[in-house]
A and B are shown apart, each in its own frame.
Chain A
Amino acid sequence: MAERVGVYICHCGSNIAGKVDVEDVSQWAGEELDNVVISRDYEFMCSSLGQELIEDDIKNEGLTRVVVGACSPHLHERTFRKACSNAGLNPYLCQMASLREQVSWVTEDEALATAKSKAMISGAVERVQLHEELEPTEVPVNPHSLVVGGGIAGIQTALELANSGNPVILVEREPSIGGHMAQFDKTFPTLDCSACILTPNMSDVSSHPNITLLSYSEVEEVTGFVGNFHVRIRKKARYVIEEDCTGCGICIEKCPKSVIDEVFEAGIGYRKSIYRPFPQAVPKYPVLDAETCIYFEKGTCKACEKFCPTNAIDFEQKDTFIDIDVGNIILATGYDTFDSRKIPQYGYGRLANVFTSLEFERLCNAAGPTNGHIVLRDGVTTPKSVAIIHCVGSRDTRFNAHCSAVCCMSALKFGHLVIEKTGAEVHSFYTDMRPSFKDYEEFYNRLLEEGMHFTRGRVAEVTEAALQPGEEGKLIIQVEDTLIGRQRRIPVDMVILMTALEPKPDAREVGLKFGISCSMAGWFTERHPKLDPVATMTDGIFIAGACQGPKDIPASVSQGAAAAARVLGMIMKGAVEIEPIVATIHEERCSGCRICNTLCPFNAIDYLEDKMVSVINQALCKGCGTCVAACPAQAITGAHYSNEQIFAEIEGLLFDVVQGNGAKPVVEEPEAVPA
């Protein structure tokens, strides 16, 4: 039986009608296209009146297919599908033609735009007649959640979820949660003590009945799909039996081996081989670093074991694996800082008194290696002048095109701390001053009043080579002051490099593990940059904090809370609908060649060794079509994108070239001559 197709052409105000003769297109479709029984044009199809037009026609005229020529399906496909299902028509029997984004907005000539619209409508009409009814499936959501990363964003997410009464597993790679915020001295612009506002939340995490904290652990493998993930976690050997350890710290005190702490102290302080990164670490259990431990190196020592009052040291401990099931996963894996050695002219690593911003955080932190005294690398001399260089590795296309968002404010904070603690002269060398959020501009004004000097210009070089009197023994900043248009040389005692925030070096690997993608730079990609910033293209996987892009503490906390709210929404609903536009492998045609196995961006394809065929987990499949295109045996079909549907659309688009279904002969041959 022939389908009864309704065609609706939207004016979109003047967006479409200003360029396309919509009345002509609508009339033409009604008269010329086979099986079109109704064709209308309307001012705003997406309005409730426009939708009612479709609903009434389905009911009164018995439409079996609907074509809407309007905007991009990204915007209103859901609207028109819903209108169809309101009238009892399967929503997947509706097709949109993008007459706005693909025609009126991008075509100069009105006649051409009208002709192109006809082709688009013809393609949609041909295609929609081959559409099949599809039904979404529902799967239950496991109320347990996994949070990966125990920085401030991950802590916030875990607490929000746990406080709402839902169980959370928090996995942290380092020995303690706290992240970068635990390293900072003060926070801008309020100058709160960073540790003082963070540690209460850290201890809440450790004592919360709904939170299982797995520190010094990493996610090994993720399988399953939204609502039903299976996660394998590697708990790295601490060599400390957590059940027996009281956290008294005697082992740390007695350990004879000191090593440079490259992580928490940013390389300017020491820790023992058995250590807690900082006194308020959560959990309290220390970690024994086997790579530097004397016992692991030489076979003797065991001082920690001898002095441990509860026999909690276990040199034989091995990595263990924990398998958990969760419904949703939030990645809050944070950022890394730029390696300043990549800009040799700034002298980091070569000139002693050039510091990175993270080193300086530890330097002025009261709990840091100098007890908060701002001193030069010699450990005693207080600087009389300090230069702060902005945008080191940021806004620099050689390294990172992006602005790291937090450095301007950190630099102002550093300026304030230097002035307050040492009275030194402070010079800031900035590209643009960007104190963008609440109370930030006020903080900038405060530093102007406190006498911090600001020079707009990108520093060319930091050098020891004195050229002028007064430069001897100093670090000289060579810079063009772009506001006065002159080269300047400014001698200082100390230089702080405001290093860029960069994605974690293994971000791509981690993304692949969880089935989400990264931007070119390596930040995790959100589902929508404006309207869905904490969801990802993989259902059930959310992102929060700086793993999505550089951001400061309040923004990270907001994202952590937002991600928790999204997850709570899923938990409250109890079930998720799975889109039926998915790919299927037809077992009888699959020879198990395994071409498709590594291609799926959502890890939806498994290979069954026993049957020697590949299968698609339809709950994970997003219907992207990658495997459908790649399958050499055409054993994979994509629902809603079958060959027949696509070829029909192409033939419809070429309605003025191709007659019927027969292909034109490539070249006319003369009549056959009898033999």
Chain B
Amino acid sequence: MSEKGVLALYWAASCGGCEIAVLGINEKILDVAAAFDIVFWPCVLDGKVRDIEKMDDKSIDLCFFNGAIRTSEQEYMARLMRQKSKVLVAFGSCAQEGCIPGLANATTKEAIFQTAYHDTPSTVNPDGIRPQTETEVAEGTLYLPFFYETVKTLGQTVDVDYYLPGCPPEPERIWDAIVAILENKLPAPGSVIGAETTVCDDCPRTRDEKKIKEFKRTWEIVPDPDICLLEQGLVCCGIATRAGCGALCPTVGSPCIGCYGPNEGVEDFGARMMTALASVIDSDDPEEIDRIIHEGIPDPIGTFYRFSLAHSELRRIALPANGGSDAKLETAESA
């Protein structure tokens, strides 16, 4: 084995943004290449899974794994990379908390297939064909991965050494993490590499005591440039979101949507947001409170669990097999 470390990067259920974010460190990628042999990076380099399978266990020093686990193939790769890597980092929001792919847990596999293979206006599928995990053809049997009912995070699938939050992680934070790994200045295994405070800490807006009479959608107001967006009625998740982005969105007048995940020690991001906002709604009248919530927050899952549904205490809507009813599914779908 060379003097250099061995690095692998892999993607599962993700959008590709994390791959781009890695390249966002710009010319420092050369430093990475100088420090590591990059043995596997399907997005950028040619590489074969069978080559990884042949490697000795723990022969990869560091693996950045982005994306959630939604198919059997992704689970297989997660287990493989775990087996072959000394340090496995859940890279980005999908691997850490499920992110946008995890919102699929608000519906069912059946409903997703129905939409994707039958109902979308652009689908032409007169025979109603659906993908099968095994198909016999003249040359033999073809296999496709199994599509899971529930999206999992990487940490729910295999043991993870570190988490790097963000959708995607900011290049500066990626570089900080790489430096920490190179210099062996890592926190305790299992922890998140990141700040211990929230976006508000970096936000330049002035903040006062909170009393909210009405939640506003972003298109309804032109926010004051200096005052806390939440005080102006916009549902800004900066109060609950881990710092790391430099408060990019609220600085330019757009409320934080929570892409950097929960603060250190928080079990359930959405629950924290909801208890915080419920605490500062300025009314004692139950009917008025209902109105404020229903008019201002039409999509609570999309607002509070946009990035964290798969990781949350809720994890998914109840399935009929686990006591959920079909009626509940329909409501969830129509919502």
Residue positions of A touching B, CB distance < 8 A: 588-599, 607, 612, 626, 629-635, 643, 666-667, 669-675
Contacts and interface: CB of A to CB of B under 8 A. Distances in A.
A327 B54 CA distance: 77
15 contacts: A588-B196, A593-B230, A594-B207, A595-B276, A598-B280, A631-B272, A632-B240, A633-B200, A634-B264, A643-B265, A666-B319, A667-B319, A673-B73, A673-B143, A673-B146
A674 B238 CA distance: 41
Given A589-B265, A643-B267, A669-B72, 7 more contacts: A629-B275, A632-B273, A633-B263, A635-B263, A672-B79, A673-B146, A675-B143
Interface stretch (B37-45, B208-216, B219-227): B208-216
Interface string B175-218: 00000000000000000000011111100000111110000000
Interface in B55-102: 72-73, 75-77, 79
Interface string B86-121: 000000000000000000000000000000000000
Nearest to B276: A632
A638 to B, nearest CB: 13
Contacts of B316: 666-667
B210 A597 contact: yes
A672 B75 contact: yes
The 3 closest A-B pairs by CB, nearest first: A632-B240, A591-B200, A630-B279
Interface string B131-169: 001000000000101101110000000000000000000
Contact of A597 (B133, B209, B243, B275): B209
A598 B211 contact: yes
A669 B243 contact: no
B240 A633 contact: yes
Contacts of B150: 666-667, 669
Contact of B276 (A607, A612, A630, A669): A630
A594 B239 CA distance: 9
A592 B200 CA distance: 7
A626 B276 CA distance: 10
B153 to A, nearest CB: 13
Nearest to A630: B279
B315 A666 contact: yes
Interface SS, B side: mixed
Interface of B: 49, 72-73, 75-77, 79, 133, 143, 145-146, 148-150, 196-201, 207-211, 228, 230, 238-240, 243, 262-267, 272-273, 275-276, 278-280, 315-316, 319, 321-322
A240 B318 CA distance: 74
Given A633-B263, A633-B266, A634-B263, A593 B207 contact: yes
Contacts of A589: 196-198, 263-265
Contacts of B321: 667
Nearest to B263: A633
A599 B278 CA distance: 11
B72 A672 contact: yes
B77 A631 contact: no
Nearest to B197: A591
Given A592-B201, A633-B240, A667-B319, A673 B133 contact: yes
A633 B280 contact: no
Contacts of B196: 588-589
A632 B146 contact: no
A667 B149 contact: yes
A588 B196 CA distance: 7
B198 A633 contact: yes
B54 to A, nearest CB: 15
A610 to B, nearest CB: 14
A593 B238 contact: yes
Contact of A590 (B146, B197, B315): B197
A590 B239 CA distance: 9
A672 B280 contact: no
B201 A591 contact: yes
A634 B201 CA distance: 14
Nearest to B262: A634
Contacts of B143: 673-675
